[in-house]
Amino acid sequence: MTAAGPAARPGRLRGAAGALAAAALGVGAGQLAALVTGPGTGPVDAVAGRVVALTPPAVAEIATVGIGLGSRATVVTGVLVVAAAAVAAAGALSGRSDRPGTAGLAALGLLGVLAGGTAAGGGPLDVLPAVVALVVAVTAFRRLHRLGARIPAGPVLPDGRPLRDSLTRRRFLRAAGLAGAGGIAAAAGAGVLAPRLPSGRIGPAREALTARLRALAAAGRIPPAPPVPAGAAFPGGTAFATPVADFYRIDTALRVPAVDPAGWTLRVHGMVGRELLLDLDDLLARPLVERWVTLSCVSNEVGGDLVSTTRFTGVELAPLLAAAVPDPAADQVFSTSVDGWTAGSPSSLVLDPAAGALLAVAMDGEALPVEHGFPVRIVVPGLYGYVSATKWVTDIELTTFAARADYWRVRGWAPPGPTETASRIDSPTPYARVPAGRVVVTGAAWAVPRGISRVEVGVGDPAAGGWVDAELGPVPAEGATWRMWRAELDLPAGGHTVRCRATDGAGAVQTGQRRSPLPGAATGWPERPVTAV
């Protein structure tokens, strides 16, 4: 037997392994570079972010409810798997020449550069991590390709392989292993370092803001919201105030923006007589208020839990915007987050002082959690979150609905309208087995800002009537929050379907017509099967 290969060339396996190791090193270097450019600018995040942003309207419904933590990880994993497959294929094709692998890595790198450069709300420096990743990956691949080349000449081992080849193999494996492990270590190190760097130094900044707000409250600068009255919630039911950790969360942020409050500004511009630019000190120098608000997501299914209630602290938005002297022709208040997400709210509501729109800085007496918009977000009682509740807000433009469409309107969701009157059964649990006889049912109902005047509970055929009035819990402030309810039913042994319907403060009964979310909110009476035994 003589030498294995006709010329100096790595096999397919070495080509693929070399390309993968080089790509890992490149991504690791890119993640390190992202420590400079900020959260979400790493090459993988940038591409994943574009994948989310370019999601076609047809799957927007999944995206709006689904871009929670689970699916965020799914998008990143998907990008990594596809990229790794492409890299391995390009590497395997690199026989005599390193060109296919070089071209494949360069193409992926350019995709990252493009993604980083076009990310909404990003700066020109955001392409840096992808450029670093590209250069490092291509350089590493070319070196590994050279190292991996089999050299056919020379003595042959007893198993038929050339001696030189076993040497190059060891050399190649060591270099590729080092590159791959180095890349993974760099990426992991960057992940550990990121939250400790200035842009990620959010924990202490949050505590500082909370302490500042406490001091303002102690100095009487924040008139406290009315306390939750005794009996606002019922035994077995949901708490009136949602613990902040349980407050539902919906956003498109692949990585939660880390906004340093020291550098935060809010610009108010567009169709205004006077532009405003505020920093956090300017904001906190204004009168602060505390307000109970129930916030809900338009994509909430009937009976779903994308609805929560808390005590927001913040600055009234209406007088602040009035100071900018809005043009009466501007029918839209268009707000933008630092991550480029946008929401368009009707000016008629936001500019109305009675509506109570807030630039919120705290939930339940503490600075906003980072994932709920730290340091400043908008809350507009009476609008769904997708057209109002901009987290990490940094820009407000007075404009028209004709001139600009916000993030979700572009993706097929309806422009803002009044919120639907909604209700939910919280206990008994679905398919619960309850003792026959007297059965207690509890739940929540909300119709912000109209309030809830009545809740009825029914069993059996809704057309046959038989609705029973529920007892309503008291609320700390009329209109802007949900209302807890409790009813007693007499259920004979057997299977039953319990349903409920609410009446809003204006006397309108919640519609029983079943409708799924998209383009607007879901409607219909919630139903719950229970078995009495």
Ligand X SMILES: Nc1nc2c(c(=O)[nH]1)N[C@H]1C(S)=C(S)[C@@H](COP(=O)(O)O)O[C@H]1N2
For the bound state, the minimum distance from the C-beta of residue 362 to ligand X, rounded and expressed in Å, comes to 13
Q: Does 526 bind Mo ion (CB under 5 A)?
A: no
Q: Does 297 bind ligand X (CB under 6 A)?
A: yes
Q: Is the dihedral of CA 303, 305, 307, 309 positive or negative?
A: positive
For the bound state, the minimum distance from the C-beta of residue 385 to Mo ion, rounded and expressed in Å, comes to 4
Q: Does 255 bind ligand X (CB under 6 A)?
A: no
Among 141, 172, 234, 247, binds ligand X (CB under 6 A): 247
- Total residue length of the chain: 533
Q: List all residues 6 or more positions away from 204 whose beta carbon is below 8 Å from its beta carbon.
A: none
Q: Where are the beta strands (DSSP E) in 331-388?
A: 332-337, 342-346, 358-363, 366-367, 377-379
Task: Find the part of the chain contacting Mo ion (CB under 5 A) among 37-45, 83-91, 246-254, 504-512.
Answer: 246-254
For the bound state, the minimum distance from the C-beta of residue 94 to Mo ion, rounded and expressed in Å, comes to 47
Give the integer Cα–Cα distance in Å for 382 and 357.
Answer: 9
Query: Which lies closer to Mo ion via its Cβ, residue 21 or residue 250?
Result: 250
The amino acid at 372: H
Q: Does 397 bind ligand X (CB under 6 A)?
A: no
Query: Which lies closer to ligand X via its Cβ, residue 141 or residue 240?
Result: 240
| DSSP structure class, residue 96 | S
> What string of DSSP letters covers 247-277?
S------SS-----GGG-EEEEEESBSS-EE
- Binding-site residue total for ligand X (CB under 6 A)? 19
Residue 76's closest CA among 55, 45, 98?
45
How many C-beta atoms surround the C-beta of residue 238 within 10 A?
A: 21
Q: List all residues 6 or more positions away from 119 whose beta carbon is below 8 Å from its beta carbon.
A: 40, 41, 46, 49, 50, 53, 126, 340
Give the integer Cα–Cα distance in Å for 511 and 514.
Answer: 8
Query: Which lies closer to ligand X via its Cβ, residue 366 or residue 527?
Result: 366
Query: Which lies closer to ligand X via its Cβ, residue 141 or residue 341?
Result: 341
Among 148, 385, 451, 473, binds ligand X (CB under 6 A): 385
For the bound state, the minimum distance from the C-beta of residue 336 to ligand X, rounded and expressed in Å, comes to 8
Task: Find the part of the chain contacting ligand X (CB under 6 A) among 9-17, 19-27, 207-215, 250-258.
Answer: 250-258
Task: Find the part of the chain contacting Mo ion (CB under 5 A) among 29-37, 380-388, 470-478, 487-495.
Answer: 380-388
For residue 290, the partner it binds in Mo ion, ligand X, none, with Cβ less than 5 to 8 A by kind, is none
In order of 40, 84, 86, 222, 520, the CA distances from 115 in angstroms are: 11, 18, 18, 44, 31
Among 214, 249, 269, 286, binds ligand X (CB under 6 A): 249
Query: Which lies closer to ligand X via its Cβ, residue 376 or residue 398?
Result: 376
For the sheet with 483-491, list strands across it.
422-427, 437-446, 483-491, 471-472
For the bound state, the minimum distance from the C-beta of residue 521 to ligand X, rounded and expressed in Å, comes to 11
For the bound state, the minimum distance from the C-beta of residue 341 to ligand X, rounded and expressed in Å, comes to 4
For residue 251, the partner it binds in ligand X, Mo ion, none, with Cβ less than 5 to 8 A by kind, is ligand X
**Helix or strand or coil: residue 47?**
helix
**Helix or strand or coil: residue 280?**
helix
Among 261, 385, 476, 524, binds Mo ion (CB under 5 A): 385
Give the integer Cα–Cα distance in Å for 23 and 88.
Answer: 9
For the bound state, the minimum distance from the C-beta of residue 415 to ligand X, rounded and expressed in Å, comes to 14
Query: Which lies closer to ligand X via its Cβ, residue 43 or residue 385?
Result: 385
Whether omega before 375 lies within 30 degrees of 0, making that bond cis, reads yes
Query: Which lies closer to ligand X via its Cβ, residue 149 or residue 302?
Result: 302
Q: Does 394 bind ligand X (CB under 6 A)?
A: no
Among 250, 271, 455, 484, binds ligand X (CB under 6 A): 250
For residue 404, the partner it binds in ligand X, Mo ion, none, with Cβ less than 5 to 8 A by kind, is none
Residue with tokens 């602290």: 313
Give the phi and the psi of residue 382 in degrees, each rounded to 5.
100, 0
Give the integer Cα–Cα distance in Å for 264 and 374.
Answer: 10
Q: Does 42 bind Mo ion (CB under 5 A)?
A: no
For residue 486, the partner it binds in ligand X, Mo ion, none, with Cβ less than 5 to 8 A by kind, is none
Q: Does 484 bind Mo ion (CB under 5 A)?
A: no
Q: List all residues 6 or more positions away from 221 whose beta carbon is below 8 Å from its beta carbon.
A: 287, 288
Task: Find the part of the chain contacting ligand X (CB under 6 A) among 39-47, 135-143, 170-178, 242-250.
Answer: 242-250
Site for ligand X in 342-381 (CB under 6 A): 372
Q: Which residue is nearest to Mo ion (CB)?
A: 297
Q: Does 392 bind ligand X (CB under 6 A)?
A: yes
Among 172, 374, 386, 446, binds Mo ion (CB under 5 A): 386
Site for ligand X in 138-197 (CB under 6 A): none
Query: Which lies closer to ligand X via its Cβ, residue 67 or residue 187?
Result: 67
- CB neighbour class for 327 (10 Å; exposed up to 12, middle 13-18, buried from 19): middle
Apex 409 CA angle, 371 and 401, nearest 5: 110
Among 297, 330, 498, 522, binds Mo ion (CB under 5 A): 297
Q: How many CA atoms lie within 13 A of 232 on its CB side?
A: 17
Q: Does 339 bind ligand X (CB under 6 A)?
A: yes
For the bound state, the minimum distance from the C-beta of residue 408 to Mo ion, rounded and expressed in Å, comes to 8
CB 31 within 8 A of CB 129: yes
For residue 337, the partner it binds in ligand X, Mo ion, none, with Cβ less than 5 to 8 A by kind, is ligand X
Footprint on this chain of Mo ion (rule: CB under 5 A):
250, 297, 385-386
Footprint on this chain of ligand X (rule: CB under 6 A):
247-253, 295, 297, 337, 339, 341, 372, 385-386, 389-392
